[in-house]
A and B are shown apart, each in its own frame.
Chain A
């Protein structure tokens, strides 16, 4: 279908559009310069137009999450798709997928309607413990990892534990310390692994890390317990690292964490073969500096390397995003959150577009997403918002976009979902390597045969290889 979106204000940092009025033309799944004919014109005068939102870090398909639905802790896939769509989001990235759980994660993601999906592959470094003690085997490991990412249909590589630590003491000689692992991954080639996603945990902020441009640090807000930690994050960003925020909403949330970081009522645990099990728990954020420092970081840094996240559902459920946007956009909305004073900085709609569209797209390597330029995917959200929208109305306006177009299909029209089955895709990073054999070292202790660990399209649906 050929669609013309007429008269809205465009917010697109990548193309330097900061509220300028303009028309957008859509042909098929893409934004085009202009079409000779138009099947449908949507008049959106005065409304804000942004690319579809991209959530870089949201646990929507983590192994074990389905069990929490039985104890009424989490949304159904249909609810996830619809809530995100109403907020103007069109893409969600699952941050925790292992080689073993890749089929599971993709099957779960494919059951979420409307949204395009992607995921980070968490590798178990125990599989390559003897190869990462020095950079001697760097090329071999790079090949194995890039193949593993492609075979698992993941979009990026994530290191959850940058160390090898056996729970059983008799294997202590196999342990590898953080320092060696970080040095190894700092040397990794950007051509094969464009960015290493690091799970941020408290001790990581005590380390000296080289070649920071290689890294993206996840939900940094979760672990900043002191000004020193805050300064360290700034140092990492000055060094070229990107971060996502991990902001809090102070409500009772489902937490997915290591045993030491657990609070509230425990819902269960999942053993993924790492040094500690992953604990699912439910509770309110305990008092501490982290929520304040997370918001302070969001309000005080140039936004170039920051993406929005709440580590959903851990620090705040994705449903709370509009509330947090309203905090970021108006100082009066966040007045009563903390006793201490936050920096006075108010996000513009352009800034919101940057941290929820452009920056996540850059980190995930989605060149055709996160902006409104010619050739971009026709994922477009239109809100009843302008720069003068009242502070107390922002939350509701962000929760309920007026129009959502996903891949050229109209999903929301006049605030109503009119089509909840538009075409959706799984984005993953491919590799130029044709021989899968180097990846075999990562599957030595699997109960699955090597060939069955490659994710089939039956789990992913339509795939887009980057």
Chain B
């Protein structure tokens, strides 16, 4: 059986978008794969994220709900989806962080033409990050420069071992860089989180904070950097002092943060304070800050919002100015929507029950390659090719650099971009 080797494939499993994956394909199946992490294996072998021996159930044909979900042809599914969206007064277009950039772009156009909402997953954390730039500025660099120069790495509210497994090896702690020729021996890691994790052994100091109260530690650090008194801090002040000392003395530092900062609904305050800390650090040395994305194209959606609407907040096209609401997420007002188009996301797994209960009351159109908890609650389900494995696309790495995703397997499933475009074309004819 003929084998084909695809070299330097981009891995579409997390925001690292590692480009060193070599895939051997035989009989249109991945036979072996090199340089890949656990998440990448699951992506290319279609297995479950935390139990990689178990195959994920593939949605094989489009389905529409009669009494139960019944299989149908693609055209019928598109017509049903278009009917639902046309009848909707205010639909939500949601998910899209595992889709290519152009699929995201079409989804934005659908929300625009329907005067609905457009919200990428994780907007609750990332919108505050981009919004905080207004006061604190942005401090970014390609990950290459972190690897080449950073001598202090801080992980705050995230665990790269689980969310972006090759981050430590390729971009931050271990790799040798232009000015860091000994790799991890030339670097120091600090971790801040609510509980101990795998990074304890790698970190010089591991700072524990109360869930959602990261901003207290950040404010303390800002005070220390300004040589102000910090008598009222109740946590591990010695660890904070050590961290601040190292950060201020470093030649170059990088802070990576994750969803941990959004605990207890404190995302905005935490992220704003972290950005203020980075601004303060940049008065003394060079520091960059980059969010860790565990979906591979979260950054693409944020870049799209900035490019098209000039704002990082989810778009509400029912208003004249879609970004004027200024909220990091629209999902808190989920009761206002009357239909949902969900792409590559499982809201019944990821949303809190008070939100997902509201979704049960409205028709949902789902575009997803696999069966999820959401599938059975939908009116229309489209199977789709997996972007980066079975379909091409563009994805933005966590540092904002785009890469072309290749396809290594042939499939008859349409890509999410094609499905969304078909829906958009039909909607455009009606409006």
With known contacts A76-B308, A77-B307, A167-B251, A63–B400 Cβ distance under 8 A: yes
Residue pair B137, A103 in contact (C-beta under 8 Å):
no
With known contacts A270-B141, A271-B140, A271-B145, A103–B310 Cβ distance under 8 A: no
> Of all chain B residues, which has the CB nearest A127?
B178
A126 interface hit (Cβ, 8 Å) = yes
Residue pair B140, A64 in contact (C-beta under 8 Å):
yes
A257-281 near B? 1/0 per residue, CB < 8 Å: 0000000001111111100010010
With known contacts A267-B138, A447-B144, A447-B147, A70–B401 Cβ distance under 8 A: no
User: How many residues of A are in contact with the other chain, CB < 8 A?
Assistant: 42
CB distance from B309 to the nearest CB of A (A): 8
Residues on the B chain within 8 Å of A70, using CB? 130-131, 133-134, 306, 310-312
CB distance from A171 to the nearest CB of B (A): 6
Stretch of A7-15, A21-29, A183-191, A452-460 contacting B (4+ beta carbons < 8 Å) = A452-460
B394 interface hit (Cβ, 8 Å) = yes
With known contacts A67-B133, A458-B392, A72–B403 Cβ distance under 8 A: no
In the bound assembly, the distance between CA atoms of A171 and B149 in angstroms comes to 12
Residue pair B179, A171 in contact (C-beta under 8 Å):
yes
CB distance from A366 to the nearest CB of B (A): 26
B426 interface hit (Cβ, 8 Å) = no
In the bound assembly, the distance between CA atoms of A446 and B145 in angstroms comes to 9
Contact of B139 among A171, A269, A273 (CB under 8 A): A269
Residue pair B288, A66 in contact (C-beta under 8 Å):
no
With known contacts A445-B177, A445-B178, A447-B147, A456–B404 Cβ distance under 8 A: yes
Residue pair B401, A268 in contact (C-beta under 8 Å):
no
In the bound assembly, the distance between CA atoms of A126 and B145 in angstroms comes to 13
Contact of B402 among A104, A126, A166, A277 (CB under 8 A): A104
Contact of B133 among A104, A268, A449, A452 (CB under 8 A): A268
In the bound assembly, the distance between CA atoms of A414 and B225 in angstroms comes to 60
With known contacts A64-B138, A77-B307, A107–B288 Cβ distance under 8 A: no
Residue pair A269, B144 in contact (C-beta under 8 Å):
no
Residues on the B chain within 8 Å of A167, using CB? 149, 251-252, 286
Residue pair B307, A69 in contact (C-beta under 8 Å):
yes
A336 interface hit (Cβ, 8 Å) = no
> Of all chain B residues, which has the CB nearest A446?
B144
Residue pair B142, A101 in contact (C-beta under 8 Å):
yes
A344 interface hit (Cβ, 8 Å) = no
> Of all chain A residues, which has the CB nearest B140?
A270
Residue pair B144, A273 in contact (C-beta under 8 Å):
yes
Residues on the B chain within 8 Å of A456, using CB? 404
Residue pair A445, B144 in contact (C-beta under 8 Å):
yes
Residues on the B chain within 8 Å of A104, using CB? 400-402
CB distance from B401 to the nearest CB of A (A): 5
Residue pair B8, A103 in contact (C-beta under 8 Å):
no
In the bound assembly, the distance between CA atoms of A266 and B149 in angstroms comes to 23
In the bound assembly, the distance between CA atoms of A72 and B312 in angstroms comes to 11
Residue pair B282, A269 in contact (C-beta under 8 Å):
yes
With known contacts A100-B144, A271-B140, A452-B19, A66–B303 Cβ distance under 8 A: yes
In the bound assembly, the distance between CA atoms of A146 and B175 in angstroms comes to 29
B161-189 near A? 1/0 per residue, CB < 8 Å: 00000000011000101110000000000
Residues on the A chain within 8 Å of B404, using CB? 103, 456, 458-459
Which residues of chain A (63-112) have a CB below 8 Å from chain B? 63-64, 66-67, 69-72, 76-77, 100-101, 103-104, 107-108, 111
Residue pair B138, A459 in contact (C-beta under 8 Å):
no
User: How many residues of B are in contact with the other chain, CB < 8 A?
Assistant: 48
CB distance from B29 to the nearest CB of A (A): 24
Which residues of chain B (109-144) have a CB below 8 Å from chain A? 130-131, 133-134, 137-144
Contact of B403 among A67, A77, A269, A452 (CB under 8 A): A452
A389 interface hit (Cβ, 8 Å) = no
B60 interface hit (Cβ, 8 Å) = no
B73 interface hit (Cβ, 8 Å) = no
> Of all chain B residues, which has the CB nearest A106?
B402
> Of all chain A residues, which has the CB nearest B177?
A445
Residue pair A273, B133 in contact (C-beta under 8 Å):
no
CB distance from A254 to the nearest CB of B (A): 13
Residue pair B148, A273 in contact (C-beta under 8 Å):
yes
CB distance from B426 to the nearest CB of A (A): 21
Residue pair B402, A452 in contact (C-beta under 8 Å):
no
> Of all chain B residues, which has the CB nearest A75?
B310
Which residues of chain A (164-188) have a CB below 8 Å from chain B? 166-168, 171
Residue pair A277, B286 in contact (C-beta under 8 Å):
yes
Residue pair B401, A100 in contact (C-beta under 8 Å):
yes
Residue pair B403, A103 in contact (C-beta under 8 Å):
yes
Residue pair A71, B143 in contact (C-beta under 8 Å):
no
In the bound assembly, the distance between CA atoms of A280 and B133 in angstroms comes to 12
B158 interface hit (Cβ, 8 Å) = no
A451 interface hit (Cβ, 8 Å) = yes
In the bound assembly, the distance between CA atoms of A271 and B251 in angstroms comes to 13
In the bound assembly, the distance between CA atoms of A271 and B310 in angstroms comes to 23
In the bound assembly, the distance between CA atoms of A66 and B307 in angstroms comes to 6
- A-B contact sample (10 more), CB < 8 A, given A273-B144, A445-B144: A76-B307, A77-B307, A168-B179, A168-B251, A268-B139, A271-B288, A273-B178, A445-B147, A451-B7, A459-B402
Q: Jot down 22 A-B pairs with beta carbons below 8 A, ordered by A.
A: A67-B306, A70-B133, A70-B134, A71-B134, A76-B309, A103-B403, A103-B404, A104-B400, A107-B394, A167-B286, A266-B137, A268-B137, A268-B139, A271-B149, A272-B142, A272-B145, A273-B142, A277-B141, A445-B144, A448-B19, A452-B19, A458-B394
Residues of B within 8 A of A (CB): 7-8, 10, 19-20, 101, 130-131, 133-134, 137-145, 147-149, 170-171, 175, 177-179, 251-252, 282, 286, 288, 303, 306-312, 392, 394, 400-404
What 5 A-B pairs have minimum CB-CB distances, sorted nearest first?
A268-B138, A271-B141, A268-B137, A449-B8, A452-B19
Residues of A within 8 A of B (CB): 63-64, 66-67, 69-72, 76-77, 100-101, 103-104, 107-108, 111, 126, 166-168, 171, 266-273, 277, 280, 445-449, 451-452, 456, 458-459
